[in-house]
Chains A and B, each alone.
Chain A
Amino acid sequence: MGKVKPGPLARRPDNSAFKQQRLPAWSPMLTANSVLPFFYFMALICMLLGVWLLLTVQSTEELKLDYTEAGTCNLCFEKRNVSNAAQPCICTAVFNIKKAFKGDVFFYYGLINFHQNLRRYMDSRDDAQMVGRKNNLKSPSSYCMPFDKDKNGVPIAPCGAVANSIFNDSFTLSYMTSSGSVRVPLLRKGISWYTDKNIKYRNPSTENMTLPQVFEGTAPPLYWQKPVYDLDPLDKNNNGFINDDLIVWMREAAFPNFKKLYGVLHRANKPFMNGLPAGNYSVEISYNFPVQYFRGRKEVVLTTLTWFGGQNHFLPIAYLVTSCLILLIAILLTVFWFKFGKNGQNMEE
């Protein structure tokens, strides 16, 4: 544009395809030739996917056990209802697996009607504290209020409503054979996202200090029985903010009913080399988490996985239904087209 052309056409606009709006272009049109085959094709694809997914899902097993008031947990449920929450309570629930769970078996705990997705609840955390910032350790973000400091003004670590409300039931799964009960080994590590475990949650740098020393001057969250540096007595490296259970809990659920991974079946020894054999099982629960306040339920979920995850009947069915609908539409369109608009007869005027 900067060039000044001489002559009478000096102000003549450039004859470029762009300026003259003559850019080469593809102008598609919704003609029967393209739309109808597309619809059939879509229907077919969805159908195939749906069938495939359905077959895959059929091969998975899932078991859900609501233990809120199940078995002996009845007592604990009552106990948690009153204010003596600190007292430990252990109960057992039994269940039966009719068909063996083949392959990896995943053990989840589930909560019903627990709103981890409330805005103020979700905001009530300090990621800077959890990533090990010293400043935030001692002076947590105001978003944590009222769970930022205890009654004495000591900063809480980890602060906030999310950490405070951590699910603190623990489970021991046993396989009851005729020869007595065998404890089902559960791997309690590697149950969180890689990024969470390695990036998002970090303990404050220790500099030769032990974890308790690092956390000195902080208080555990109000509802916690143990301090954060003592969450896993068995593994020193699973304490502090990088504790797997904490990390799992801190990844808030999107919906009020959710399950979170508790452990994975350790398939090292018999009889669990191929998964969980059929039979009777009992789960011993250290019943700490009160749900009656908010009319919630607690459950245990056992499931096997396929390539696309756990048992999920909705997905294949949704695909099948969609495929049927598309097919229906496609047929209707074809009929309409055949009857009224064939060969673009409406186009010819």
Chain B
Amino acid sequence: MFRKRPPPEEERKVRANDREYNEKFQYASNCIMTSKYNIVTFLPVNLFEQFQEVANTYFLFLLILQLIPQISSLSWFTTIVPLALVLSITAVKDATDDYFRHKSDSQVNNRQSQVLIRGSLQNEKWMNVRVGDIIKLENNQFVAADLLLLSSSEPHGLCYIETAELDGESNMKVRQSVSVTSELGDQNNLASFDGEVVCEPPNNKLDRFCGTLYWRDKKYTLSNQNMLLRGCVLRNTEACYGLVIFAGPDTKLMQNSGRTKFKRTSIDRLMNTLVLWIFGFLVCMGVILAVGNAVWEREVGFLFQSYLPWDPPVDNFLFSAFLSFWSYVIILNTVVPISLYVSVEVIRLGHSYFINWDQQMFCSQCNTPAEARTTTLNEELGQVEYIFSDKTGTLTQNIMSFNKCSINGQTYGEGSDPLGPQPKRLDFTPFNPLADPDFCFYDDTLLEAVKVGDTHTHKFFRLLSLCHTVMSEEKSEGALLYKAQSPDEGALVTAARNFGFVFRSRTPGTITTTEMGRSVTYTLLAILDFNNIRKRMSVIVRNPEGRICLYCKGADTVLLERLHPCNQELMNITSDHLNEYAADGLRTLALAYRDLSEDEWEAWSERHRSAAKAASCREDRLAAAYEQIEQDMVLLGATAIEDKLQEGVPETIAVLSLANIKIWVLTGDKQETAVNIGYSCKMLTDDMTEVFIISGHTVQSVRQELRRARDRMIEMSRTRDGKEEGVEGCFMGNGFREGQGDSRGGEKQLQCPPPPPPSNLMDNISGEFALVINGHSLAHALEADMETEFVSTACACKAVICCRVTPLQKAQVVEMIKKHKKAVTLAIGDGANDVSMIKSAHIGVGISGQEGIQAVLASDYSFSQFRFLQRLLLVHGRWSYLRMCRFLCYFFYKNFAFTMVHFWFGFYCGFSAQTVYDQYFITLYNIVYTSLPVLAMGIFDQDVPDQRSLEYPKLYEPGQLNLLFNKREFFICIAQGIYTSVVLFFVPCAILSDATQSTGVPLADYQTFAVTTATALVIVVSVQIALDTGFWTVINHVFVWGSLGLYFSIMLALQSQTLFGIFPNQFHFVGSAQSTLLQPVVWLTIALATAICIVPVLAFRFLKVDLKPQLSDTVRYTQLVRQKKRKPAGRSVGGAWRGVGSVSEGRLGARGSSRRSGYAFAHTEGFGELITSGKNMRLSSLAMATFASRHSSSWIDTLRRKKHSHTNTPPSASGESSPAPSCVSGSIPPLSNSSSVLCGSQDAPIEEETGAAPDTQTASSSSTQNPPAPAPASEAADGSAQTLNAGVLTPAALRSQGGDSPGGWTISLGAVQEALLRWKGRASASNSPVKLAE
């Protein structure tokens, strides 16, 4: 950490497998260190840090002052004991924190990864991985460092990663290695790989990488497409090899995760301000008393010198006053006791433990309890006004379930009768052995329809089983695993599977299904891929009978336009159903098909081919071609997919918005998806006055749209207000009226200024509005001059949804609200893309239990269900805030009451800085006598039970408005404290100065007075805490009574004969307590003082509760009444409400008329091409495909041979460069669209060839891919070649080439080129295996 960094890197040079070379540059190792101390540095560093706290330094300063005898009015231990206590408690806490950091660091650092060292794979800890190492990753492993992908087990050096950790996008991404390295295959070849990478220095740009690979005198451009970043997870890829480019702190993940900002709560800041004020007050007191001292010394002390001469250094009254000032600073310092800070910490720690312990925030599915990861923010949880939520994984589970469907005008799915008995979940297994046991469906009529053989239903499910881009994997017979690129598709295909139309496998040219137990293989003629504009996808297949059919699914808006006119009636019914589904917040798709004649197909196919080949406007021409064939379709029905919300999300959002918390959803998702989720989690409702959508692309248009929205809001609210004026008067912001009864309406009206000034107009928007803003618009809206406009518009809305938002923008939005609204913000998210937002918000909450932990690591609180948020805020947060406020009020009160007595005494003791109390009392008052009861209150107090605060979300409001502890409350506390101190000083003073013991000995001696005042003080503050405590648990009783008992016993002990016998000069109060406390006058004095102190407070509080009760008082009162009514069962009320979150089946019955439909496509285009090109086909799945379709038994042999050759991999001669003609059979499907992810420009050396490739279905190869060469070993060459060819099912063609495969496999570039040329030649000669053209 303290290592001196070399000057910032200009560029990074990494040579593979050459540690010596790489060490020259001193790149950071892969060891991450987030801890702060080690054993040696702990004490000095920690102390240094602690003394950076102003308070601690202040007390150190006091301590030094106390060591000066002329000033020292108190023994040094009155300061050092608490200071030492505070320092050690903090040190222990810091040490524990750091210990856990060490632990988690070492856990990460000690993860195992396989590193290729000297030709063999060795298990190494992550931290020992160096830049330049080649490491092997296996499926589902985390990527250990930023790697350059060299090769993978998949064809073409492809590999799939999940980047949820990094950017929160849950769909899989494809990465591809540079072709030359992908050919290297496995470790044997890689061990001798000595390419050098020159690239950019470490940075935090996740989506950018630029570098160059130099290898064998050739340059290869590297891009982000070749990189595997730390934090990603390898998926669907058996293994891959990568070269470490950035390690440890240099990785993009770590570079992105900047240092955690130290978060302070607003109470903290207020407290610090107040403490400064108190210091000011202290100085004032000191000055007053010093002036008093000057006057007194001049008038009286000067004369008194014969009895008490001035100290030698004090030669005049002014210097005496100067010393007196410092003496009083020492004495009065207890107004800001050190224990304040440590008590606050202890209380927060307690609250954190309660959060950790809360069973109702424990998720049993993922076995994760809630966790308060920071202990400093608890009370701020009670003040949240804005929640920024991620969508995927936070609001939703990211699980799609096939929920309803409409087939030929008949709707199936869950019965809409919410009151009826819970329908039984269908059991598919007897009907269909291939069914997915996890699939849930409740409507057996649909199953019946399938069984009966209803043609429409069959067609419907056939469509679902064919029209998709899902990949399947069948490890063993029947154990199907679908790999869908978007979860929606997975859900649809799974539904079809369960209803008897099982998608088994696919090859680039076929789709094999099992329809009602019968295996059917369709020839896949074309995939008309999805894109954002088309909003639909289609497939054209030929069934075994030879009939050609187009199946299409897509958004209803686009699909319904393209139907055959004869569908009109069905279309009406179906669109009614669609509306119904959409109103339920389901994602809908319409399905249609069209039978094609051979001629039609031929004609279109020709047209399509030419479009695909076109050099210019290819996209448009393709789209036009697609458009042409997707016409006159026959409607089959519609599907409704539920984007499964997390449990209890709508309820939670409802409760939170009742608590006047504004919820903004910031999501990377598309607008439609986001809006859809907005509806399904009831953020948006059809009752809303208006939902504004801002999607402008330019500054002007965004500004205009925002303004328009605002004008509209003002206009609408004017008309509404006009209507409602008489009833409700004016109101104080959104939602305020709901909880408050009409009885307060009148009051409100009086408070409201008659014409609201224009600047406040936006705060007074009535009606429910919602704002949906797009990512690119948001970018404009976040510009400096637009910010205010955006904030004022957005904050007037009840719900705000930002879609297509980047992680940075998420943080910007949060920062903006923090800046403009001065409100407490909370960000909740689950992915690494939420980290920035979590960090910049006042409170960050991470959803744990998912795979990613980035968000959790950055968060302040973590739990596994969104619905726990309501408990965290409304229960824990509210309590924390309440407790902290009560604690602070009481704490300042008790210290003023304690300290100010010295001030009054100053007027009697010649301002000589004589303390009123025994020094031990001063030392122990804050840390022993009065600390525990207030701690118990601060930790355990409850004004209303937890279920009440969930029932009455309005109870949350005082926190947001900062009502319980603010400057006003503070002054009230101070005033009360000062009043108490006056009473505590003057009542004993007046009584005791004349009183005597019953033995005649006067009671006016100093020690009696000290004991009496101290006792009265302890009793008064104990009574006060008893009044403040609203929730008397056993612990409170023990602490309150215990503190009193402790006070008396400690006092008696300190004033005992024994201690005096040992240290007579330290314990000169010997016997005072005994003789004082036996006097009735003393007790009468204490009783009187207590009564005078407490009665006004009691009266005031009673009046407040009685005349102006807070909502919490009301709730408490009703609770009390309720308890009285049924005394014995009083406590059982609690259980009733516990499970609100679980009642998630509350579908709204009311259906809006608005037409909106979410369409279930979360994925990106390009996968269709990937499939038809066969590039992403796994060998095993290809083999399975052939196995299932039984096209050729020879494939089994091929597979066996392939496997065989895999296991006995002989080492290859790396230097050998031989052409590999066999691997490039003519059957290699050409690549299609240039938009494909696969076609990067990484293959720089390879010449681009266009137009010469054979045509399969979709496209010409505008940029030619190198031959697929995944097979690692030379002897496997023929096998692998065949396997590859198997992808296109031309056994004959293959066989012919199988023989002449040479041994060497490591292809030099020249060889590749040569091979390519040859391949092209052959390819054009040989027939297209799929024989589309026939």
Residues of B within 8 A of A288 (CB): none
Shortest B526–chain A CB gap in Å is 48
Verify B1081–A312 contact, CB threshold 8 A: yes
Residues of B within 8 A of A255 (CB): 908, 989, 993, 1004, 1009
Verify B1099–A314 contact, CB threshold 8 A: no
Which of under 10, 10 to 19, 20 to 34, or 35 or more describes the interface residues of A?
35 or more
> Cα distance A307–B996 when bound, in Å?
10
Verify B357–A14 contact, CB threshold 8 A: yes
> Cα distance A127–B991 when bound, in Å?
29
Verify A200–B990 contact, CB threshold 8 A: no
Contact partner of B359 (CB less than 8 A), chosen from A20, A39, A303, is A20
A residues 60-118 touching B (CB-CB < 8 Å):
104, 106, 108, 113-118
B residues 290-324 touching A (CB-CB < 8 Å):
300-301, 303-304, 306-309, 311-312
Chain A, residue nearest B914 (CB): A119
> Cα distance A315–B1004 when bound, in Å?
14
Residues of B within 8 A of A305 (CB): 996, 998, 1000
> Cα distance A258–B987 when bound, in Å?
17
Which of these binds chain A: B119-127, B968-976, B1107-1115, B1245-1253?
B1107-1115
Using known A-B contacts A29-B1105, A30-B1098, determine if residue A196 contacts B1071 with beta carbons closer than 8 Å. yes
Residues of B within 8 A of A346 (CB): 1106-1109, 1114
Task: Judge if A278 is at the interface, Cβ distance under 8 Å.
Answer: no
Shortest A38–chain B CB gap in Å is 8
Residues of B within 8 A of A303 (CB): 996
Shortest A187–chain B CB gap in Å is 10
Residues of A within 8 A of B1091 (CB): 42, 46, 322, 326
Contact partner of A257 (CB less than 8 A), chosen from B358, B993, B1035, is B993
**B366-383 CB contact bits vs A (8 Å, 1 = yes)?**
011100000000000000
Verify B995–A35 contact, CB threshold 8 A: no
Chain B, residue nearest A132 (CB): B1064
Using known A-B contacts A118-B914, A322-B1091, A333-B1099, determine if residue A20 contacts B1004 with beta carbons closer than 8 Å. no
Verify A11–B914 contact, CB threshold 8 A: no
Residues of A within 8 A of B1064 (CB): 127-128, 130-131, 133, 200
Q: Give the most central of A115, A141, A146: most B CB within 10 Å.
A: A115
Verify B1106–A42 contact, CB threshold 8 A: no
Which of these binds chain B: A148-156, A168-176, A259-267?
A259-267
Verify A253–B362 contact, CB threshold 8 A: no
**A284-318 CB contact bits vs B (8 Å, 1 = yes)?**
00000000011100000001010111111111001
Verify B303–A146 contact, CB threshold 8 A: no
Task: Judge if A209 is at the interface, Cβ distance under 8 Å.
Answer: no
Verify B1000–A294 contact, CB threshold 8 A: no
Residues of A within 8 A of B1008 (CB): 254
Verify A13–B1106 contact, CB threshold 8 A: no
Residues of A within 8 A of B1031 (CB): 25-27
> Cα distance A325–B1088 when bound, in Å?
12
Give the dominant DSSP class at B's interface. Answer: helix
Residues of A within 8 A of B1060 (CB): 131, 199-200
Chain B, residue nearest A146 (CB): B309
Verify B1000–A191 contact, CB threshold 8 A: yes
> Cα distance A253–B942 when bound, in Å?
46
B residues 1117-1139 touching A (CB-CB < 8 Å):
1117-1121, 1131, 1134
Residues of B within 8 A of A24 (CB): 1033-1034, 1131
Task: Judge if B1030 is at the interface, Cβ distance under 8 Å.
Answer: yes
**A4-36 CB contact bits vs B (8 Å, 1 = yes)?**
000011111111000111111111111110010
Which of these binds chain A: B714-722, B955-963, B1072-1080?
B1072-1080
Residues of B within 8 A of A124 (CB): 308
Task: Judge if B997 is at the interface, Cβ distance under 8 Å.
Answer: yes
Task: Judge if B1269 is at the interface, Cβ distance under 8 Å.
Answer: no
Residues of B within 8 A of A194 (CB): 1071, 1075
Shortest A154–chain B CB gap in Å is 19
Task: Judge if A243 is at the interface, Cβ distance under 8 Å.
Answer: no
**B895-922 CB contact bits vs A (8 Å, 1 = yes)?**
0000000000000111011110000000
Verify A254–B993 contact, CB threshold 8 A: yes
Residues of B within 8 A of A39 (CB): 1095, 1098-1099
Shortest A147–chain B CB gap in Å is 9
Which of these binds chain B: A226-234, A268-276, A335-343?
A335-343
> Cα distance A39–B1096 when bound, in Å?
11
Verify B741–A349 contact, CB threshold 8 A: yes
> Cα distance A318–B1087 when bound, in Å?
11
Verify A195–B1000 contact, CB threshold 8 A: no
Verify A27–B307 contact, CB threshold 8 A: no
Chain B, residue nearest A307 (CB): B998
Using known A-B contacts A261-B1001, A346-B1108, determine if residue A195 contacts B1032 with beta carbons closer than 8 Å. no
Shortest B64–chain A CB gap in Å is 19
> Cα distance A164–B146 when bound, in Å?
84
Task: Judge if A120 is at the interface, Cβ distance under 8 Å.
Answer: yes
Residues of B within 8 A of A42 (CB): 1091, 1095
Verify A314–B991 contact, CB threshold 8 A: yes
Verify B998–A308 contact, CB threshold 8 A: yes
Shortest B349–chain A CB gap in Å is 14
Verify A318–B367 contact, CB threshold 8 A: no
Shortest A336–chain B CB gap in Å is 6
Shortest B803–chain A CB gap in Å is 35
Shortest A148–chain B CB gap in Å is 13
Verify B1004–A126 contact, CB threshold 8 A: no
**B643-654 CB contact bits vs A (8 Å, 1 = yes)?**
000000000000
Verify B358–A20 contact, CB threshold 8 A: yes
> Cα distance A96–B1117 when bound, in Å?
66
Verify B995–A315 contact, CB threshold 8 A: yes
> Cα distance A196–B1088 when bound, in Å?
29
Shortest B209–chain A CB gap in Å is 39
**B1056-1079 CB contact bits vs A (8 Å, 1 = yes)?**
010011001100101110110001
**A43-63 CB contact bits vs B (8 Å, 1 = yes)?**
000100100010000000000
Contact partner of B1117 (CB less than 8 A), chosen from A141, A252, A344, is A344
Residues of A within 8 A of B1010 (CB): 254
Verify A9–B304 contact, CB threshold 8 A: no
Verify B1004–A312 contact, CB threshold 8 A: no
Verify B1106–A341 contact, CB threshold 8 A: yes
Q: Give the most central of B743, B913, B989, B1081: most A CB within 10 Å.
A: B1081
Shortest A258–chain B CB gap in Å is 5
Verify B914–A308 contact, CB threshold 8 A: no
Using known A-B contacts A22-B1134, A337-B1106, determine if residue A104 contacts B1006 with beta carbons closer than 8 Å. no
Verify A310–B1106 contact, CB threshold 8 A: no
Shortest A236–chain B CB gap in Å is 24
Residues of A within 8 A of B1032 (CB): 25-28
Using known A-B contacts A193-B1075, A252-B1005, A255-B1004, determine if residue A312 contacts B362 with beta carbons closer than 8 Å. no
Contact partner of A195 (CB less than 8 A), chosen from B303, B912, B1074, is B1074
Contact partner of B1106 (CB less than 8 A), chosen from A190, A329, A336, is A336
Shortest A52–chain B CB gap in Å is 11
> Could you list 21 examples of A-B contacts with CB < 8 Å?
A23-B1033, A24-B1034, A42-B1091, A53-B1084, A119-B915, A120-B311, A146-B312, A165-B307, A190-B999, A200-B1068, A255-B908, A255-B993, A259-B1004, A260-B1002, A261-B1000, A261-B1002, A308-B1079, A309-B998, A310-B995, A318-B990, A336-B1103
Binding site for A on B (CB under 8 A): 73, 300-301, 303-304, 306-309, 311-312, 327, 353-354, 356-360, 362, 364, 367-369, 740-741, 743-744, 879, 908-910, 912-915, 940, 942, 946, 987, 989-1010, 1030-1036, 1057, 1060-1061, 1064-1065, 1068, 1070-1072, 1074-1075, 1079-1081, 1084-1085, 1088, 1091-1092, 1095-1096, 1098-1099, 1101-1103, 1105-1109, 1111, 1113-1114, 1116-1121, 1131, 1134
6 closest Cβ contacts across the A-B interface? A195-B1071, A341-B1106, A19-B357, A254-B1009, A310-B996, A119-B914
